[in-house]
Amino acid sequence: MDRPLGQQARWLGSPWARGVAAALAGAVPALTFPAPSWWWLAYACLVPWLLLVRTAPTYGRAALDGWLGGTGFILAVHQWLLPSLHIFILVLALLLGALWAPWGLLVRALLGGAPGAARCAAALVLVPSGWLMVELVRSWEYLGGPWGLLGAGQWQVPPALRMASIGGVWLVSLLIVAVNTALAELIARPAARLPAVAGLLVCALAVTAVWFWAPVPRAAGTVRIAVVQPNLTGTPAERLARSETLTRSLAGRGVRLVVWGESSLSQDPADHPALAARLAALSRRTGAELLINADSAHAGRPGISKSAVLIGPDGPTGDRYAKMRLVPFGEYIPFRSLLGWATRVGKAAPTDRLRGTAPVVIPVAAAGGLRVGPLVCFESAFPDMSRHLVRDGAQVLVAQSSTSTFQGSWAPAQHASLAALRAAETWRPMVHATLTGISAVYGPRGEQIGERLGTDRSTAAVYDLPLAEGTGPYTRFGDWAVYGAMGALVLAGGYAGLRAALSRRSAPARR
């Protein structure tokens, strides 16, 4: 028999102890991401938080438990930002953690007390839907972007990658939260086990059906590419010299495209003929075109931007892409007039980078016109950007990154893992090339190709990249899982409002 809610709440101790427990419970899901990569923990990682919130004595306390748990989650997932942002990371965590306050209310309403079978069944749909709305809102680039989406921790699990090809990382997140909700119901309300067990069976059957019957990309040959990782954070001249040496070692190996990492150059070769000539000589020597990245000003335009620039045997081809989505506080400060003080307590951006205006698909002549879709840095975290590039005709996705500021932390591994999700979602291989590691390459099903280049490697690695044909369900239909979650919440809210209105109308008649 279930204990009264008030008795359960008393067991949780003082409000301060409860707050600490909420923050710790919210931090547990961070262990599912690299570097720990305990992916299996994802399917139970929310259970302590759910059980805590459902015992909240009031709805206000449930909202606070959601807020503090969200704060713990943001701090744990982004703990590698502490050396750069210092105390400001706590301010950011508190601001973003507030997004989980409504989710706490939803959990308390659906799982609190002694819910019957109907309410437990509703929770299996609405609790995951509410979580997805939190992920959606915080994915807005001005709030930090979609770093640490719960489904992204499944980047090395083939069935989860197959699910991502159907509904993106959003569908994987929905599945994970549904499993956690069902487990919490089994623990908290054994008398209502039927909907929980049914929910687990539905999740298992859905994954099984997708694994055996979902469409898969068709093989379309291979292309030989190389990643140059100098692993050198010295002066721009030293970095360029090391990258040149590594690139020259690729001569005679049949490489058609060489990819350098983010900020591999501090000058734009289009504005510096001598630099352009050096890079063109590398292209002629290797027989490949070079996709470099310039963190620099561009002639005729004030300010600095980060641009992917293609270099052929005659120099810059004219094909280039400027980064559109910038890292908050790292490359610009949102609402600088209000939050500019962050530059005084950490390593926040002293000036704002310029934004690009549109995505670009770049043809590589040396690879037979292979169409490449470039992304820069944390743009690889945004599912919509890679999907739009593929819909525009990209055959290969390339992310140029640099996590040199965060060497020795979880950041390089977290960042590299995102490429597996983007590849699986789009049915297109993805190259994640960095200055200092971790660089990695993934095939069109999200499978790892060749070796990962760790943060201790300075090398040029060659990969035979498998190409694919066809348009995957997620590329074709987009964020249908998100819209479905929105629809479920709207319908549930409308139903609850109608019931409340009818209850108020019938109350005078009963009196």
C-beta atoms surrounding 486 within 10 Å: 15
Q: How far is CA 260 from CA 229, 277, 392, in A?
A: 7, 17, 23
Give yes or no for residue 449 having a pLDDT over 80.
yes
pLDDT of residue 218: 94
Of 95 and 351, more confident: 95
Give yes or no for residue 2 having a pLDDT over 60.
no
Give yes or no for residue 68 having a pLDDT over 80.
yes
Give yes or no for residue 93 having a pLDDT over 70.
yes
Q: Measured at the alpha carbon of residue 410, what is the angle toward residues 409 and 413, in degrees to the nearest 5? A: 120
Arithmetic mean of pLDDT over the chain: 88
Give yes or no for residue 151 having a pLDDT over 50.
yes
pLDDT of residue 1: 39
pLDDT band at 354 (very low <50, low <70, confident <90, very high): confident
Give yes or no for residue 301 having a pLDDT over 90.
no
The whole-number average pLDDT for the span 172-192 is 93
pLDDT of residue 371: 96
pLDDT band at 326 (very low <50, low <70, confident <90, very high): confident
Give yes or no for residue 85 having a pLDDT over 90.
no
Distance CA 325, CA 382 (A): 9
Angle between helices 117-138 and 158-188 (to 10 degrees): 130
pLDDT of residue 52: 95
pLDDT of residue 5: 44
pLDDT band at 306 (very low <50, low <70, confident <90, very high): confident
Give yes or no for residue 359 having a pLDDT over 80.
yes
Helix (H, G, I), strand (E, B) or coil at 231: coil
Q: Measured at the alpha carbon of residue 42, what is the angle toward residues 161 and 64, in degrees to the nearest 5? A: 130
Give yes or no for residue 241 having a pLDDT over 50.
yes
Give yes or no for residue 233 having a pLDDT over 80.
no
Range with the lowest mean pLDDT among 55-64, 160-169, 300-309, 425-434? 300-309
pTM over 0.95: no
Of 359 and 356, more confident: 359
Question: How deeply is 295 buried, as exposed, middle or buried, from its count of CB atoms within 10 A (0-12, 13-18, 19+)?
Answer: buried
Range with the lowest mean pLDDT among 74-78, 144-148, 343-347, 492-496? 343-347
The whole-number average pLDDT for the span 324-348 is 61
pLDDT of residue 408: 80
Residue % of the chain over a pLDDT of 90: 67
Give yes or no for residue 136 having a pLDDT over 60.
yes
Most confident range, picked from 23-32, 235-244, 328-337: 23-32
The whole-number average pLDDT for the span 21-35 is 94
- Helix, strand, coil % over all residues of the chain, rounded to 5: 55, 15, 30
Residue type (1 letter), 331: E
pLDDT of residue 8: 47
Helix (H, G, I), strand (E, B) or coil at 439: strand
CA 54 and chain centroid, separation: 28
pLDDT band at 172 (very low <50, low <70, confident <90, very high): very high
Q: Which value, to the nearest 10 degrees, does the dihedral of the CA atoms of residues 347, 237, 352, 390 take?
A: -110
Give yes or no for residue 362 having a pLDDT over 90.
yes
What single string gives the DSSP state of each residue in 403-424?
-GGGTTSSHHHHHHHHHHHHHH
The whole-number average pLDDT for the span 178-196 is 91
pLDDT of residue 7: 46
The whole-number average pLDDT for the span 295-316 is 80
The whole-number average pLDDT for the span 200-229 is 95
pLDDT band at 142 (very low <50, low <70, confident <90, very high): confident
Largest interatomic CA distance in the chain: 92
